[in-house]
């Protein structure tokens, strides 16, 4: 008795399959493993090209510092002069209005004794304030020679009516330029107070040195460093596209369904793909970390190595989960690649945008944000969550370079530790706490588990090329988790058939199985129905077969043969009826049925870059335990005449050679029931007869069910012929029985030297003969029975006088093809 393969053996064999995929798909594997390296290398080269030292700043005189910026607030400036005298107050106001070119209506006085901290706090927390201004200034004259002032401006001016608060991380904004102009006007007014308007002020635009705090590099390198997360996204997300291509291609080639038909557990199958993706992810993570530390890239070198490792691995695991989910939802590589590229582009574009405007992201947590529920997307869509993690880390680790009143400011990047990872992020956008990096990373992991669960469910529910398989709530049924390991108890009503035919052969075939002889049959099909929409592809089909027999199924294209085969092997769900294989019900015990089946599908299913020997090794070991597998594989390769090319990749095979490999896969492993769907299609005549000999030699103690369009093949192999027409059983019986019942008799072929004379001779001695056709000097007659023909044949043999008239003759029995054409003709044609 063949021992079923254990879960560990299936897992091990499928891991071997993944190794072969990595080893043979050299181009795809190269890009999957080196994209992070190229991304890091490009970043390093660009960084080095920008890191020339700045020797001195540029001094550019300008005609006017005042810009034509249009404020979005109600006023350009609010002011409070405190204890400044009215005379000095007027001098300063006149200077500001003259310098800025303002009307008095563009300014508003804040009268009275005002607490500056309370005032600015009110300006920050109020989104819509009728007295809101672009800038506010508070003066204080401490003595006759000193006037102090505090000036603040709204760097978000123009966006105060928006639901999101956007701040620039680098570069001088229009708001800052305008604020500098106001500062210049205020200081010019103060100078006029003390100089009585006699001092002349000359203005130059001076760019600050821009040196970074620790290494003196120009600001362009700081800007590039802010975009390093984009390079990471590119490096680790691009392999995701290739992963999706590989896993969906295997499904498109029907390998996924083929492995399932051989009893491969879905969870085992997906787990090996997950390990494949995670090994690639581990390699890419190590590459990024090694080069990041070696090149002293701040994002990596300033971050705790364990944090970087966890973040990158969690994100790549989520990409693997998305890839597995896409493979369950889609069965065409083109469609899957479109979705994968869209995900890639969204992640890449998002990283670019958020590298420039961090507060676009953090603004989602602002109390000014109207659409707080946008955060749900960040908690469900892992690429978006990953972008937030990149921003969280970069805002701490990367040097900050920004403009202020004092010039260009540079803040050295700090260390990002686990304390930063688990604590809330401090922002000035409002009172809602920003989600911690730890929680964000947890959301990615939880989303990954959801992706994998949905992939597992959809893989069993969504119809593939063979149709749907399970109901959506299958995981809530007892039979799924605890299937019966013994054949179900059969009742009489399970074998009862609904016969709507008066044909005695159909009646006999539909009723020949009962409870007393049920165990004698390897296959029992009763009242089988398959619908696609409103169309019945298989209509109330019933037949049976015993072990040690070869059953040949005949039928024109669309008759329902392959659909019936797919229902027997569990690749297509059954609409109605029952199928029993050695007592096991295909409807409820398909996992056990698969352990007894060998399958050669209608179309060749293979890995193009695997050898025939590797195919047979994988397909045997996922099904059963073998102690002498090399010997068994060599024997089967020899039996299908593939020994000489056993170690060549299958993509180099001809169509006939690939078909012989499919037959070998179907019969290997000593299955109790072998299903061969058109096994010799495309095979040359010599090898076809060799395959016939092989099929006959293995039928002992087995049931072989084959479909074919070759009447010669069915006649040569079939112990029983099943003829289908329009999804129904049209006839059943041995080849001889069908010929006797439906045949038109015998064909008499005569070769003559005189057509008219030969016709008169036949009419005289064999009046029941019916002339079918005349072809040149050949006559073809149909004679109903051998009894009537035998006397005429004796006459032809004995009577030498007619040798000159009848030079040759031949008798031909009715062929199976004649019977088939007779049985599947339209009713009106039969009449």
Place of tokens 């009715």: 814
Q: How far apart are CA 420 and CA 751, in angstroms?
A: 101
Pseudo-torsion of CA 434, 436, 441, 445, nearest 10°?
-80
- pLDDT higher than threshold 60 for residue 247: yes
Q: Which residue has the tokens 């990096």?
A: 437
Q: Which of 21-35, 258-272, 665-679, 800-814 has the lowest mean pLDDT?
A: 800-814
Q: Is residue 38 situated within a structural domain?
A: yes
Together in a domain, 125 and 85? yes
Residues 356-389 pLDDT 10s = 666 666 666 666 555 555 556 666 778 888 888 8
pLDDT at residue 671 is higher than 90: no
Of 132-136, 611-615, 781-785, the range with the lowest mean pLDDT is: 781-785
**Are 374 and 301 contained in the same domain?**
yes
447 in the same domain as 302 = yes
Backbone angles phi, psi at 420, to 5 degrees: -65, -35
Q: Binning pLDDT at 50, 70 and 90, where does residue 828 land?
A: very low
For residues 151 and 243, membership in a common domain is answered with: no
The residue segments making up the domain with residue 177 are 60-206
pLDDT tens column, 191-211 = 888 888 777 777 666 555 544
Identify each DSSP E strand in 495-612 by its residue range.
521-532, 535-546, 549-554, 576-581, 584-585, 597-600
Whether residues 244 and 128 fall in one domain: no
The Cα–Cα gap between 555 and 503 comes to 18
Q: Are residues 41 and 96 both part of a single domain? A: no
Mean pLDDT, the chain, as a whole number? 82
**pLDDT tens for residues 91-128?**
899 888 888 888 888 898 888 888 877 787 776 655 44
Residue 57 reports pLDDT greater than 60: no
Q: Identify whether 304 is part of a domain.
A: yes
List, as one string, the DSSP characters of 274-318: HHHHHHHHHHHHHHHHHHHHHTT-HHHHTB-HHHHHHHHHHHHHH
Do 347 and 263 reside in the same domain of the chain?
yes
Strand ranges inside 158-277, DSSP E = 204-206
Same domain, 79 and 114: yes
Q: Three-state SS for 96?
A: helix
Mean pLDDT across the stretch 260-289? Answer: 92
40 and 68: one domain?
Answer: no
Q: What is the pLDDT of residue 601?
A: 87
∠ CA 327-472-459, rounded to 5°: 15
Per-residue confidence band for 451, with pLDDT thresholds at 50, 70 and 90 = very high
Q: Is the pLDDT of residue 213 over 80?
A: no
Q: Is pLDDT above 60 for 295? A: yes
* Secondary structure of residue 455 in the 3-state scheme: helix
**pLDDT band with cut points at 50, 70 and 90 for residue 165:** very low
> What is the CA angle 112-115-118, rounded to 5?
130
Greater confidence (68 vs 579) lies with: 579
**Separation CA 731–CA 724 (nearest Å):** 7
Please say if the pLDDT value at position 463 is more than 80.
no
Identify the helix (H) or strand (E) that includes residue 735. Answer: helix 735-742
Residue at 73 is within a domain = yes
Q: What is the CATH number of the domain that holds 97?
A: 3.40.190
H-helix or E-strand containing 729?
Answer: strand 728-733
CATH number at residue 780: 3.30.70
Q: Is residue 143 part of a domain?
A: yes
Length of the chain: 831
How many Å apart are CA 162 and CA 148, to the nearest integer? 34
Q: Would residue 540 count as lying in a domain?
A: no
Whole-number Å distance between alpha carbons of 168 and 360: 10
State CA 275 to chain mean position distance: 16
Of 354, 269, 66, which is closest to residue 186 (Cα–Cα)?
A: 66
Q: Into how many domains does the chain fold?
A: 3
Cα separation, 367 vs 156, in Å, equals 15
| pLDDT tens figures, 725-749 | 888 888 888 888 888 777 777 788 8
Mean pLDDT within 757-761: 88
Of all helices (H) and strands (E), which one includes residue 732? strand 728-733
Most confident of 191-195, 216-220, 334-338, 556-560: 334-338
One domain, residues 189 and 118: yes
- Kindly state whether residue 112 falls inside one of the protein's structural domains: yes
3-state SS of the chain: helix, strand, coil percent to 5? 50, 15, 30
- Reference 258, options 574, 594, 7, 538; nearest CA is 594
Residue 634 included in any domain:
no
Residue in 564, 496, 485 with CA at minimum distance from that of residue 526? 496
**Is residue 39 domain-shared with residue 72, that is, in the same domain?**
no
Residue 54 has pLDDT above 60, yes or no: no
Return the top range by mean pLDDT from 44-58, 286-300, 307-321, 794-808.
307-321
pTM, full prediction: 0.76
Same domain flag for 263 and 174: no
From residue 242, give the alpha-carbon distance in Å to each of 33, 287, 722: 11, 18, 46
**Which residues neighbour 61 within 8 Å (Cβ) at sequence distance 6 or greater?**
203, 204, 205
Of 720, 727, 726, which Cα lies nearest the Cα of 706? Answer: 720
Q: Is residue 476 part of a domain?
A: no
Q: How far apart are CA 438 and CA 332, in angstroms?
A: 37
CA end-to-end span of the chain: 53
Asked if residues 137 and 149 have their Cβ atoms less than 8 Å apart, the reply is: yes
Pairwise CA distance, residues 738 & 695, whole Å: 23
pLDDT of residue 53: 52
Query: H/E/C letters for each residue in 698-725?
Result: CCCCCEEEEECCCHHHHHHHCCEEEEEE
Rg of the chain in Å (alpha carbons): 43
Contact present, 134 and 75 (Cβ < 8 Å): yes
Q: Are 194 and 145 in contact (CB under 8 A)?
A: yes
């Amino acid at each position: 008795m063949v021992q079923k393969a254990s879960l560990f053996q299936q897992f091990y064999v499928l891991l071997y399959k993944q190794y072969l995929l990595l080893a043979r798909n050299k181009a795809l594997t190269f890009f999957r493993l080196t994209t992070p390296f190229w991304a890091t290398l490009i970043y390093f080269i660009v960084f080095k090209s920008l890191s020339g030292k700045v020797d001195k700043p540029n001094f550019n005189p300008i005609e006017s510092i005042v810009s034509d910026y249009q404020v979005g607030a109600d006023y350009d400036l609010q002011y409070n002069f405190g204890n400044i005298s009215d005379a000095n107050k007027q001098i300063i106001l006149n200077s500001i209005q003259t310098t800025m070119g303002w009307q008095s209506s563009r300014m508003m006085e804040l009268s009275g004794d005002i607490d500056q901290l309370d005032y600015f706090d009110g300006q920050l927390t109020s989104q819509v304030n009728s007295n809101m201004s672009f800038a506010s200034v508070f003066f204080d004259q401490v003595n006759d020679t000193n006037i102090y002032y505090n000036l603040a401006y709204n760097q978000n001016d123009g966006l105060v009516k928006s639901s999101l608060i956007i701040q620039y991380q680098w570069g001088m904004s229009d708001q800052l330029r305008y604020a500098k102009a106001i500062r210049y006007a205020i200081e010019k007014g103060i100078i006029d107070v003390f100089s009585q308007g006699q001092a002349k002020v000359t203005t130059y635009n001076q760019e600050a040195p821009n040196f970074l705090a620790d290494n003196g590099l120009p600001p362009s390198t700081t800007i590039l460093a802010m975009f390093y997360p984009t390079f990471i996204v590119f490096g680790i997300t691009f392999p995701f596209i290739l992963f999706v291509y590989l896993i969906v291609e295997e499904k498109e080639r029907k390998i996924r369904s083929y492995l399932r038909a051989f009893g491969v557990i879905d969870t085992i199958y997906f787990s090996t793909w997950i390990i494949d993706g995670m090994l690639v992810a581990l390699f890419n993570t190590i590459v990024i970390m090694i080069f990041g530390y070696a090149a002293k890239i701040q994002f990596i070198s300033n971050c705790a190595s364990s944090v970087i490792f966890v973040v990158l691995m969690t994100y790549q695991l989520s990409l693997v989960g998305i890839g597995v989910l896409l493979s369950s939802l889609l069965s065409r590589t083109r469609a899957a690649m479109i979705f994968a590229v869209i995900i890639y582009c969204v992640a890449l574009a998002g990283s670019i945008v958020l590298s420039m405007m961090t507060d676009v992201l953090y603004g989602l947590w602002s109390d000014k944000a109207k659409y707080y529920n946008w955060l749900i997307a960040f908690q469900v869509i892992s690429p978006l969550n990953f972008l937030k993690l990149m921003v969280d880390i970069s805002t701490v680790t990367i040097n900050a370079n920004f403009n202020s009143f004092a010039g260009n400011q540079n803040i050295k990047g700090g260390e990002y530790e686990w304390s930063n990872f688990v604590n809330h992020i401090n922002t000035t956008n409002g009172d809602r706490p920003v989600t911690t990096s730890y929680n964000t990373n947890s959301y990615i992991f939880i989303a990954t588990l959801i992706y994998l669960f949905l992939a597992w469910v959809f893989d069993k529910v969504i119809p593939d090329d063979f149709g749907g398989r399970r109901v959506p709530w299958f995981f809530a049924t007892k039979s799924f988790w605890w299937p019966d390991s013994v054949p179900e108890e059969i009742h009489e009503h399970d074998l009862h058939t609904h016969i709507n035919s008066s044909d005695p052969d159909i009646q006999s075939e539909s009723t020949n199985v009962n409870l007393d002889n049920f165990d004698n049959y390897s296959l029992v099909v009763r009242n089988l129905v398959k619908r696609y929409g409103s169309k019945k592809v298989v209509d109330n089909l019933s037949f049976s077969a015993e072990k040690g027999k070869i059953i040949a199924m005949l039928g024109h294209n669309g008759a329902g043969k392959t659909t019936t085969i797919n229902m027997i092997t569990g690749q297509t769900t059954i609409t109605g009826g029952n199928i029993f294989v050695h007592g096991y019900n295909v409807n409820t015990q398909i996992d056990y049925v698969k352990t007894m089946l060998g399958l050669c599908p209608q179309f060749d299913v293979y890995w193009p870059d695997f050898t025939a020997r590797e195919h047979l090794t994988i397909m045997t070991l996922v099904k059963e335990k073998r102690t002498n597998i090399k010997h068994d594989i060599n024997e089967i390769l020899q039996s299908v005449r593939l020994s000489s090319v056993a170690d060549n990749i299958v993509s180099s095979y001809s169509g006939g050679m690939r078909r012989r490999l499919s037959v070998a896969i179907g019969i290997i492993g000593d299955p109790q029931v072998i299903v061969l769907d058109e096994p010799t299609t495309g095979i040359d005549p010599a090898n076809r007869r060799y395959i016939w000999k092989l099929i006959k030699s293995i039928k002992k103690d087995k049931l072989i069910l084959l479909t074919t369009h070759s009447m010669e093949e069915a006649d040569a192999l079939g112990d029983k012929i099943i003829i289908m027409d329009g999804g129904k059983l049209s006839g059943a019986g041995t080849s001889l029985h069908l010929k006797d019942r439906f045949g038109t008799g015998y064909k008499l072929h005569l070769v003559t030297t005189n057509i008219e004379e030969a016709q008169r001779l036949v009419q005289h001695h064999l009046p029941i003969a019916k002339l079918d056709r005349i072809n040149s000097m050949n006559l073809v007659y149909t004679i109903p029975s051998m009894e009537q023909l035998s006397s005429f044949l004796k006459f032809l043999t004995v009577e030498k006088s007619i040798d000159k008239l009848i030079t040759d003759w031949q008798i031909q029995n009715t062929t199976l093809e004649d019977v088939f054409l007779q049985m599947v003709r339209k009713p009106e044609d039969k009449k």
